[in-house]
Amino acid sequence: MSAPSLPNLNPQTIVRSTATVFGLLGTAVGIQAILDPFSYSKNFGLPSSTSSNPFVRVIGGRTLAGGLTTLALVYFKADRALGASLVIGLVTGAVDGAVVRGSVEGADGKSITPGEVKAAKSAAMGHWVLTGVAAGLGVWLLSVS
């Protein structure tokens, strides 16, 4: 009786798996924005006063579409297109982080609590870090595909 073999864990498999996680995350976040804009806004890092804006649901639809597109590119093994998409995602992540951070810059302490300021700054950093990881994976995919 032989030992079970490990799955093929070459770098492309690892990158595709990571991209799948990003796709699932985008899909889940998009659905959350459509169904529960208040929680989405809070998790995104925006102050609670922005969560009643109907535009949050519009963004949810776009985020859902982006997540599903990423999943489709992984499924069809369209590595060059997936790589380009992940690199282009730098625009989204950079803007998201800047908007979240900017939403609390110069806060007067009356309409936005210190806790919301701290959460927004942390969320902005999270947007930038995840965007950097995704873009790095995209650059790698473009270089080997």
User: What does the pLDDT average to over 6-35?
Assistant: 92
pLDDT class of 52 with cuts at 50, 70, 90? low
pLDDT tens per residue across span 125-139: 999 999 999 999 999
pTM confidence score: 0.85
> Mean pLDDT for the chain?
90
- 79-112: per-residue pLDDT in tens? 999 999 999 999 999 999 999 998 888 766 667 8
Instruction: Give pLDDT, residue 79.
Output: 97
Q: What per-residue confidence (pLDDT) applies to 49? A: 65
| Number of Cβ within a 10 Å radius of residue 8 | 7
